[in-house]
């Protein structure tokens, strides 16, 4: 989806039937972001609103903040708008990918630089998307091969399987799924689609069971896990969005503002780690003995490496098991000389 295409704010409705879910690492996120949210009118930017669990907590806990919430999934936005209806006067919800941060802030009447106090990016597929069989994210349920987070635009996973060349398929599976049998799987996809195009997840799962050697299937989890991840990342351009969104998010923070990013796979976490490392490093040339004015680090890292969920949190919410959390605080702005 082109983030410059039409965006729309989502009308807020009330409902008593909004589903509840367990937000991942909620209390840890509050510990990190809370200190930045005590000032009157502080802006909390939720780049992956989902069902609004994190947002509801922050709106209740910090009654003086306002929320700008983004999500590419129109169904999730509608449910979140119902859940957050009690706070309608303090929220702006925008239909966009998280690399549409600048446009979302514009819709909220805010500049895209140094206007936000706290940011949360809870990446990956949401609980709602996994639970809705017809979306095709889950390899354990036979469903149409869709996998679009925004069902109003873009190619589906079936389109990828049925139109990509062998080389393109192998690249997607290897790069985004870290699948060591990528070439073999891609060849079998091309062979089978000539007879019957792919339309359902059961077809793909059957192919993977037939193609991946039995010895490899006995380790590393479900044999479809890596392929389904790769297709989802490709269909939704997840890494491209993240690579564009992170610099925009960091630039949007005020000095003293904080960001938390939760990743669920190593590819995402590497992008976050690299961007945080770059922005927290000195820009003074290494051969100079003193720090040049305005060339010091812009951010300081708030987590030691990537934090993971505790065993208790995983028992309460199994989907927290793969999470990797990183956080940073802005300590300098562009206004420096």
Going by the annotation, the residues of the binding site for S-adenosyl-L-methionine are 52-54, 71, 98, 122, 129
Q: From the annotation, which residues make up the binding site?
A: 52-54, 71, 98, 122, 129
Backbone angles phi, psi at 23, to 5 degrees: -65, 140
Residue carrying structure tokens 């997607």? 172
Q: Whole-angstrom Cα distance, residue 299 to residue 328?
A: 6
CA 124, 126, 127, 129 torsion: positive or negative?
Answer: negative
Element housing 183 (H / E): helix 182-193
Residues 6+ away with beta carbon under 8 Å from 155: 163, 235
- How far is the C-alpha of 58 from the C-alpha of 269, rounded, in Å? 24
- How many Cα atoms occupy the beta-carbon half-sphere of 172 within 13 Å? 25
Residue 256: partners with Cβ closer than 8 Å, 6 or more residues away: 36, 117, 329, 330, 331
CB 69 within 8 A of CB 93: yes
């Amino acid at each position: 989806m082109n983030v410059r295409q039409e965006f729309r704010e989502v009308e807020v409705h009330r409902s008593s039937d909004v589903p509840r879910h367990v937000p991942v690492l909620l209390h840890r996120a509050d510990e990190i972001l809370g200190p930045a949210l005590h000032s009157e009118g502080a802006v909390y930017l939720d780049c992956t609103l989902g069902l609004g669990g994190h947002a509801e907590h922050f709106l209740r806990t910090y009654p003086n903040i306002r929320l700008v919430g983004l999500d590419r999934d129109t169904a999730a936005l509608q449910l979140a708008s119902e859940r957050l209806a009690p706070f309608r006067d303090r929220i702006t919800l925008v239909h966009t990918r998280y690399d549409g941060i600048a446009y979302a802030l514009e819709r909220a009447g805010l500049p895209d630089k140094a206007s936000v106090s706290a940011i949360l990016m809870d990446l990956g597929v949401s609980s709602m998307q996994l639970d809705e069989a017809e979306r095709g994210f889950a390899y354990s349920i036979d469903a149409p091969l869709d996998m679009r987070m925004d069902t109003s635009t873009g190619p589906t996973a079936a389109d990828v399987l049925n139109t990509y060349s062998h080389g393109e398929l192998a690249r997607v599976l290897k790069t985004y799924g870290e699948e060591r049998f990528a070439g073999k799987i891609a060849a079998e996809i091309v062979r089978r689609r000539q007879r019957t195009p792919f339309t359902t997840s059961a077809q793909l799962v059957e192919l993977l069971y037939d193609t991946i050697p039995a010895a490899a299937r006995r380790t590393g989890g479900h044999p479809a896990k890596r392929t389904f991840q790769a297709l989802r990342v490709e269909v939704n351009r997840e890494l491209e969005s993240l690579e564009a969104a992170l610099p925009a998010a960091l630039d949007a923070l005020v000095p003293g503002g904080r960001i938390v990013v939760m990743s669920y796979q190593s590819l995402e976490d590497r992008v976050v780690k690299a961007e945080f490392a770059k922005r927290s490093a000195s820009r003074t040339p290494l051969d100079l003995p003193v720090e040049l004015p305005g060339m010091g680090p812009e951010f300081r890292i708030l987590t030691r490496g990537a934090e993971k969920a505790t065993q208790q949190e995983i028992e309460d919410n199994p989907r927290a098991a793969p999470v990797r959390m990183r956080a940073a605080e802005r300590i300098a702005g562009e206004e420096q000389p």
